[in-house]
Chain A
Amino acid sequence: MIGDYILEIAYLIASVLYIFGLKMMSDPKTAKNGNLWAAVGMTVAIVATIFLYMDSEGKHLHNLPWIGGGIAIGSVLGYLMAKRVQMTDMPQMVSLFNGMGGACAAIIGLIEFPHYAHNPESSFLILLTIYAGVVIGSTSFAGSMIAFLKLNGNLNKDIRLPFYNVMNTGLIIAAVGLTICLAGGHIHANVDMWVYILLGLSLAYGVLFVLPIGGADMPVVISLLNSFTGMAAAFGGFLYGNMAMLTGGILVGSAGTILTVVMCNAMNRSLSAVIFGAFGTGGAAAAAVGDGKQKSYKQTSPSDLAVLLNYSSKVIIVPGYGLAVAQAQHVVHELESILSSRGVEVKYAIHPVAGRMPGHMNVLLAESNVDYDRLVEMEDINPEFSTCDVVLVLGANDVVNPAAKEDPSSPIYGMPILNVEDAKHTVINKRSMSVGYAGIDNDLFYRDKSSMLFGDAKKVLTELVSELKAL
């Protein structure tokens, strides 16, 4: 009995630690400790469960060697994966981990349902909890795997099956309907078969839900799936009356949902637009219009740019994903150091969705020791562009596209952008004139004050740095 009390207290401690951990993670100074607190809370919950949990008949858990083995394998795998991943590949890693949590929740439901489904005393809501865990967990799993493959470059196309919106809606209705029928005990024969059909429907929905979503909307989807898994965990907590699972799951479910909304706001996209994807079709139309007339652009070279930068008084660097892909964040820091040592004021303008996820660019620049104070967020930097001599756009495209302000027919119209065109000179580094992530042309490249610097960001910047040193 005393074990039960201690277990509940352990869960209480764990829940409090999650909450404080998550709260501390919202400030750069305390974030690292916050993560540790949450990890300690998790350890408390897991260890206490293994040794203190008792079922309704007062029996302790058995199969401990299996449990221990599973935890050992999982820990080693998780640790190695997390340690080896490149910082640029972070988003897909988060997606992969999320998928595993979703799969875990779905499997719990699959093992538990036979105990409850064949027991006439199980209430509608208990059964609903189990089936909802299966549906949400497996949707999150399938969706996260597709998101992982897309971000990892294994699955490049945004695949749109004909009438996919109709199909997806049909799948949701079928899954929800079947869940209610099963939970309500309206299906008496072949319950097991129907549960596996439900599993199939949910997996199919997860796949079809993420397949058509474009790359730029990927972080939003991952965040959404993250909150799905949180909800699935919470359903598990409800089933077992387990407070640690309940609070942890709900906390992530609600925090994840808000984070999703915040991200959507940063891109000025509505959640439904992301899910039902009006993006690709609009983008194709806009690109087609852009191709109609041949427009001219200016080109510059590293040596010309070195001179220009050397005699500037203020330079703003706009880093984008192209910079991260080229692994050029360290060279950028070197460039910045040389310029500041010569009295040039250098700042970085960070668009909220620069990189692949909000804050991703900050992580990458921080990795190469860029000073935290130099990273300026969009609202604060936008008024400064007009006083700036040179803006260096490195591998960013859509976040500096003036169409977002000027062209109501553009698919990104309304998205807040960095006002780089206010500066005296804008130099854009890209590998080619190809379109950005949103698949639309960028009028900025053809403006009078703009010039293009073609080439791989790392290579070009290295040349630029050596030219600067020679001056």
Chain B
Amino acid sequence: MEQLLAFTYEHMEMIYIVILSIILGIQVIESVPTVLHTPLMSGANAIHGVVVVGAIIVMGSAAPDNYVALILGFLAVVLGTVNVVGGFVVTDRMLDMFKKKPAKKD
């Protein structure tokens, strides 16, 4: 119990951020029209690709002779980057389709 309280105290800023981000995430989504659910899911999917930052840190801190960490880290960087780049590009393609609407009206 004391450990938990101490942890909470030490990481108060983080806990604020967590709580505020949760509320923000809920707020942002609530007003979305159904039309945009798929692109939004895809966009959110790309944003959680930020996990690649962790992969970069792991990779960059691995000892040069720790081959397991290097190979796994490399794999993580590749996978994370695919998530980020693929996610944003796919979302952009989906949204492209909504954009050219006003141009063509027959």
The answer to whether A and B interact is yes
Among B46, B81, B89, contact of A74 (Cβ-Cβ < 8 Å): B81
The yes or no answer to A371 lying at the interface (CB within 8 A) is: yes
The yes or no answer to A375 lying at the interface (CB within 8 A) is: yes
The yes or no answer to B47 lying at the interface (CB within 8 A) is: yes
Say whether B21 contacts A90, CB under 8 Å. no
Given contacts A26-B36, A67-B77, A255-B25, contact A78 B94 (CB under 8 A): no
How far does the alpha carbon of A304 sit from the alpha carbon of B40 in the complex, in Å?
42
Q: A248: which B residues are within 8 A, CB to CB? A: 47-48, 50
Say whether A359 contacts B22, CB under 8 Å. no
The yes or no answer to B57 lying at the interface (CB within 8 A) is: yes
Say whether A42 contacts B54, CB under 8 Å. no
The yes or no answer to A386 lying at the interface (CB within 8 A) is: no
The yes or no answer to A457 lying at the interface (CB within 8 A) is: no
Say whether A78 contacts B81, CB under 8 Å. yes
| Interface of chain A: mostly helix, strand, loop or mixed | helix
Which residues 224-249 of A sit at the B interface, judged by CB distance below 8 A? 226, 229-230, 232-234, 236-249
> 1/0 per position for B1-32, CB-CB distance to A under 8 A?
00110010000001001100111111011111
> 1/0 per position for B39-61, CB-CB distance to A under 8 A?
11111111111111111111111
Among A38, A105, A357, contact of B47 (Cβ-Cβ < 8 Å): A38
Number of B residues contacting the other chain (C-beta, 8 Å)?
84
Given contacts A222-B41, A372-B101, contact A31 B53 (CB under 8 A): no
Say whether A362 contacts B35, CB under 8 Å. yes
The yes or no answer to A149 lying at the interface (CB within 8 A) is: no
Q: B77: which A residues are within 8 A, CB to CB? A: 66-67, 70-71, 74, 104
How far does the alpha carbon of A103 sit from the alpha carbon of B48 in the complex, in Å?
12
The yes or no answer to A252 lying at the interface (CB within 8 A) is: yes
Point out which of A14, A87, A234, A337 has the most chain B C-beta atoms below 10 A from its C-beta: A234
Given contacts A21-B43, A359-B37, contact A32 B57 (CB under 8 A): no
The yes or no answer to A161 lying at the interface (CB within 8 A) is: no
The yes or no answer to A6 lying at the interface (CB within 8 A) is: no
Listed stretches A48-56, A287-295, A314-322; interface member: A48-56
Q: A82: which B residues are within 8 A, CB to CB? A: 85-87, 89-90, 93
Say whether A252 contacts B90, CB under 8 Å. no
Say whether B53 contacts A23, CB under 8 Å. no
Which residues 67-106 of B sit at the A interface, judged by CB distance below 8 A? 68-70, 72-101, 104-106
6 further A-B pairs in the complex, CB-CB below 8 A; given A25-B91, A108-B54, A362-B98: A35-B92, A97-B46, A107-B79, A108-B51, A111-B62, A254-B22
- Residues of B at the A interface (CB closer than 8 Å) are 3-4, 7, 14, 17-18, 21-26, 28-62, 64, 68-70, 72-101, 104-106
